[in-house]
Structure 1
Amino acid sequence: MTDLYKAYGDAAERMLHFVETRSTDQASGVFEVPVAHYLDEARWQKEMDLIFRRLPLMLALTIELPKVNDYKAMDVMGQPVLITRGKDGKARAFLNVCKHRAMHLAKEGKGNCSRFACQYHGWTYANDGQLIGIAEASTFGDVDRRTLAMTELPAEEVAGMIFVILTPGLPIDVRAFLGGMLDDLAALKLETWYYHKARTMEGANWKVSFDGYLEGYHFQAAHTQTVATRSPSNRASYEAFGPHIRLGFPQNGIGRLKDLPREEWGRQENDGYDFIRILFPNFSFFLAPEMCQYAQLFPGPTPDRNLTVMNYIYPTAPKDEEELRKLDEMSDFFFQVVLDEDYALGLKVQNGLESGATDRLTFGRNEPGNQYFHKWVEHYLSGCEGPPPVLRA
């Protein structure tokens, strides 16, 4: 933790400097992205195949499945996914499909059970994926039940988070994938929080929406009465860990750090500055003392749309109905800000892209996170040929 707090303190020092000098972290030059990268269906399919179906995606928190036999069933970009916690305590993931006639097994949502019975013909599976019951087996015929187990997906539980790869049989190493971001996430102790609820919103092309998470250049124009009252526009620090980013935003009152010993600056998150933790390709995590909002952004059924799941967790569970009501109000406020001020704007951007008004978008030197993100998209689409992108030359 000492090294982590030192890194936070160094970022805080940079953010204070940016506020005092009216500057920000910068890339070496401007960067152009063809508009076709947001519109082309063949490219979008390639992004699905080489990024979203091959990289570990954070699909659930440990606190969503805290007990043996807990499960979470969800649709992930058209893939029916079932995450379970077996009697051995291990989190596993499967395609939520019966091997008899391909019916879904568990209804979308969460619950607790040790087995899943198909509602079509009654075949039954244990939550470790094994086929344990065939209805009217004596009339069905001889089959090898071992070959009819649920299709398992690569899954790994790390730092209070459950990551899944949507393609069966691929190797998974989340610790290697997270790299230097792992210590950062582990320090948050997410396994001790209370999971409150999730809400979904529809947005533009997944990269249009994700671009908005990666910079604070838009705060003053787009969030005049909300975010801009907390954080100045166009002041940000960026630290990269492979394709992932720890993005720092100073608060308007960051000057208070000068009243503290320098070695304490790294312990002042949310009291002078904030971090947004970005995991490639689709996860954004904002932690505040009283709550946390994290976004899981998934490409939609067509290139012009995405579905974003906004999740809300809190340090402790509500003690009564009044506290529950307050958590709902806080969650809904943060949700509405993103929906009304970010995603509504993104849909207009999508329309602008489709209008033919320009054939490229230009990301400024003051938008290094966006540049870095698009370079990593290209890196994965190329099959990871050549050296990986770097944040700063």
Structure 2
Amino acid sequence: MGYNDTIGREAEKMLEYVKTGTTDCADGTMEVPAAAYTDPAIFEREMAEIFMKLPLLAALTAEMPNPGDYKAMDLMGKPVLITRKTDGSVAAMLNVCTHRGMILKPEGHGNAKRLSCPYHGWTFVNDGKLLGVADPQKFGAICKEDRNLTRLPCVEAGGIIWVCLTPGMEIDIAAHLGGMLDDLNAYGLDQWHYCGSRRIHGANWKIAYDGYLEGYHFAAAHPETIHPRTFSNIMHFTALGPHMRVGYPQVRIEEALEALPRESWGNHENDGFDFVRTIFPNVSIFFAPEITQVAQLIPGPTADRNTTNLLFIRRDPPKDAADAEAIEGMMDWLSDVVDREDYGVGLQVQRGMESGAVPTVIFGRNERGNQYFHRTIDYYLSDDPNKVMPEL
């Protein structure tokens, strides 16, 4: 079955749910300890076993398309520098001079074929190799190869630059992404235009991730923003390894789809139905007609907090000044909705969890995606050598 056929069948299921007043359901409910959102020991284990080992979205190809481009950021408390080398490939390294530990580049984007330390002037090629020591006659002899920047595993796929924060680990990105890579490749994100970013702060990373996985909250939490467009509590879930494609039917799905030939439904995302794609453990993508929002969720620095970078891209650059202004307005609006109506709620949930009022939280049959997400976390934290990835 081709990709568009798969999307068409998922659209067909969403239309069925709307007509029958049903939704995609699990066999039963599921409880998760409230401590999973509050316990520092659990948080540290998640960081060590999940976030330090799995490929993480570090940048979009569109953020740094040209040779010499770089992006410096804090990722899980580590200063990371991603560069595009002269041959067009990407590299990642710790953004730390190997002389005295100075941060080489401040957070942000730039273009440089050479990286010069602002403290003592040591210079590195943008692939991390030490090029020169300032005033070497007075400094003394060193082995340059021993003082190259600390490289991190890095690969580019699906229009995204992926980094592993543990030096020396291998990244098999095709195996990690599985069928989600088909989704990304279908959009050709490596050719898109980077519009900008916004930063918001929220509660425990799982509280934030939980919100991306269900539309049960749309009517109550988004009465004037999302709910007028999208049914509340009607979802369709597809698992792609640890990742998910969550379908949300629009209120006009019957009108939109039944006016089209059935075989074309898979080509009409955003025309009657939408998807949120989650890439475990730290990505949520929403393709909208006007602009696409990619959420990069960064846990910490403590169990009760996360920082989320909302990265915005679209197929084409602004046509003119008015279009550019409209893009800025759309980014502001989307980030404000997520910050106020999702992350604001999440912070209140965090307070509730920490109060001790509930020993467990319960996910309903309709919250099937959340159940799968938490079983996936358990899989990665398990010490069982015979463990098997859960099924949706």
Aligned to 1:216: 215
Partner Cα distance (1:40, 1:132) in 2: 45
Aligned to 2:265: 265
Partner Cα distance (1:159, 1:383) in 2: 31
Partner Cα distance (1:312, 1:327) in 2: 9
Query: Residue 220 of structure 2 aligns to which amino acid in structure 1?
Result: A
Q: Secondary structure at the match of 1:259?
A: coil
1:345-369 deviations in whole A, cap 9, x for unaligned? 0000000001111100000010111
User: Any conservation in 1 of the 2:56–2:163 contact (CA below 8 Å)?
Assistant: yes
Partner Cα distance (1:239, 1:16) in 2: 16
1:187-206 deviations in whole A, cap 9, x for unaligned? 11111211111111110011
Query: Residue 325 of structure 1 aligns to which amino acid in structure 2?
Result: E
User: Any conservation in 1 of the 2:93–2:152 contact (CA below 8 Å)?
Assistant: yes
Aligned to 1:198: 197
1:110-140 deviations in whole A, cap 9, x for unaligned? 0111011111111110001100010111111
Aligned to 1:274: 274
Query: Residue 72 of structure 2 aligns to which amino acid in structure 1?
Result: A
Shift >2 Å, 4+ stretches: none
1:377 aligns with 2:374: no
Partner Cα distance (2:381, 2:229) in 1: 37
Partner Cα distance (1:186, 1:255) in 2: 28
Aligned to 2:103: 104
- The number of aligned residues is 390
User: Any conservation in 2 of the 1:290–1:315 contact (CA below 8 Å)?
Assistant: no
1:85-124 alignment to 2 at 5 Å?
A: 85-124=84-123
- Indicate the larger mover: 367-376 or 254-263: 254-263
Aligned to 2:368: 368
Aligned to 2:25: 26
Aligned to 1:10: 9
1:238-283 deviations in whole A, cap 9, x for unaligned? 1011100011000001102123221111111000100111100110
1:1-393 alignment to 2 at 5 Å?
A: 3-256=2-255, 257-383=257-383, 385=385, 386-391=387-392
Structure 2 unaligned blocks of 5 or more: none
Q: Secondary structure at the match of 1:307?
A: strand
Query: Residue 80 of structure 2 aligns to which amino acid in structure 1?
Result: V
Q: Secondary structure at the match of 1:17?
A: helix
Q: Secondary structure at the match of 2:319?
A: coil
Partner Cα distance (1:259, 1:83) in 2: 47
Using the size of structure 1 for normalisation, the TM-score is 0.98
Using the size of structure 2 for normalisation, the TM-score is 0.98
Q: Secondary structure at the match of 2:378?
A: helix
Partner Cα distance (1:163, 1:117) in 2: 25
Partner Cα distance (1:387, 1:314) in 2: 37
Partner Cα distance (2:84, 2:240) in 1: 30
Among all aligned residue pairs of Structure 1 and Structure 2, give the percentage whose two residues are the same amino acid. 52
Q: Secondary structure at the match of 2:307?
A: strand
Structure 1 unaligned blocks of 5 or more: none
User: Any conservation in 1 of the 2:198–2:331 contact (CA below 8 Å)?
Assistant: no
User: Any conservation in 2 of the 1:243–1:280 contact (CA below 8 Å)?
Assistant: yes
- Over aligned residues, Cα RMSD in angstroms? 1.0
Partner Cα distance (2:316, 2:259) in 1: 31
Partner Cα distance (1:319, 1:225) in 2: 30
Query: Residue 374 of structure 1 aligns to which amino acid in structure 2?
Result: H
User: Any conservation in 1 of the 2:68–2:111 contact (CA below 8 Å)?
Assistant: yes
User: Any conservation in 1 of the 2:39–2:303 contact (CA below 8 Å)?
Assistant: yes
Partner Cα distance (1:5, 1:98) in 2: 48
